[in-house]
Structure 1
Amino acid sequence: MNSKKLIALVLLVIQTTTLVLTLRYSRTRPVEGPRFLNSTVVVIAEVVKLLCCILMILKSKGYSLRFTVDEILREVIGRPIETFKIAIPSGMYAIQNNLLFIALSYLDAPTYQVTYQLKILSSAIFSVLLLGRSLNRLKWISLVLLMGGVALVQIPPENSEEKDPAYRWYGLFAIFCSCISSGFAGVYFEKLLKRSNQSLWIRNVQMALFGTIFGGLTAYFTNYEEIRKDGIFQGYDHLTWFVVILHAVGGLLVSNVIKYADNIVKSFAASLSIVISSAVSYFMFNEFHPGPFFTIGTAVVLFSTVLYSK
């Protein structure tokens, strides 16, 4: 593996693992006063992402503010049809981001990460439906193994002392919906990118604009009373802002380093992240005790992930 792929692998593992563990800890740690609202973190992260995209366009224009403003006005405001096409994947991503918070409120980090690999299945199905791709026999076998592995992971250990099994089903339902949303949004966004001559940063600006709008509407309709009472930044501390930055910069980081990687590197990153998250949850958080079904299921999921990338 060359140095660029190795760097990409390390960055992807760090970003993925840190985001999952930080989100999990931020939703379960004891706090004084109101806890931060999921919906506000999502919308603030979109604002930060928008600012990052504008800074990248500014850099590409030689730090000329006039050229940057002209570029954004011409490509975003001046091409309304292309801009509004982004509303669909942006709305789906807004739903996905809120669902991920819910899932990590009810599921431990390893179970969340293994189950979230079902997004490979949803992405494959939508790529067939929206992009007209065909999957060979090896990929279909890997998808069947993926579903089997995820099913094994959901079987609780014999000595499990789960307080309320319903909580687990809330988390699983949230993550299944998130996988569907992620698969559709990712494939649809890819379709738009391949049929447009607009730059990736302009597309990200459009995504962030609609993400801010959809996130704001979600926050208004779901947490209006809490926001009116304690403000949009209620419960925010250094860890919460770290979560915001991870959400905002994480996707941009992956989109930049991915040009040095390939599907196999991405698969290894996901696999290593699952292993590291499991270890941290076991040794540091003491909230995760893997049983035989989880171990076997995780191995099957990791194998199917690598197999699918072949």
Structure 2
Amino acid sequence: MFRPAALALVALSAACATPRADKVSFEEAFGSASTSPPADAALPAPVRRPKRMLAAPGAELPSARKSLELEAALAFFVDQARAYRRQVERGSPMTSSQVQNWEQINGALDAFLERPAAKTSSLDVVRARVTLESELAEDARTYGDIPPELAEAVMSRVSLLAVRMTEVRGLLVKSSRQAPRLSWPIEPVSVTSHFGERVHPIKGEVRDHLGVDLAARRGQAIAAAAPGVVLRAGWNGAHGYSVEVQHAERVLTRYSHLSRVLVETGEILERGDVLGLAGDTGLATGVHLHFELWEDGQPIDPLDGMGSPQEALAGDGTVSRR
């Protein structure tokens, strides 16, 4: 059987975890299900510099069409899920009816994701992702056991929805197709944990680390690696305060465990603009920056994508992508 904390195996939620002896909650293990920071977390500082915002943030592509089928499927799924939860005692195994309910919404999402990005409504993507995350979190609090294959299937759709949102926003931004020149977001650069497989400090299992950890001082300025548009800025569960920036159409960077966020969603950044301050929010072993580099919807090793810090310092501080 499956305990909710095991959802941490999902690569999407892989962050720099803090080893400790007590049990890990669902919200900690599955960061993206958490929509609010803990009560004692530092609040993001207000933006204190002039901002350039993406024109008409939240606007839809001219070719985008709202999916009435998805809207109806999500509404039915939520109504059924809430009804099934009312019928069981907390801690009971997930019922077969709720398992079937999840399977049906997964099928509806598969049909929705067959749409090309240019015809996808960003509002549909947001609604679907929020629904999956919130309902899975409610199920984790209600049911004592969740089938592991079901949890993995749901999180697979969450990952695909995140990739689709990046594709849609990339089309909205109308960025250059030319890959950007990237610079390291912090100086000096000292890698304390590398990309790839490592032993999870809480679960003791081999997991994928989707970025690199860079040594930092508390409150040290974190800079945008290249020009781009802020896709997400704020609390992101296990990642703590986090910022995601879209560069060109193919490249995205993520900056996690910040103590403060200094940008807003839709803000246009230049290389070197300060987007936040280093910290240890979320699941972190201490103050550092967790830095991820994504290309075409896949995480890549920043040391492969940007070269070593020494190589960058030998030139102009930037590395051109392919």
TM-score by length of 2: 0.27
**As a proportion of its length, which structure holds more helix?**
1
**As a proportion of its length, which structure holds more strand?**
2
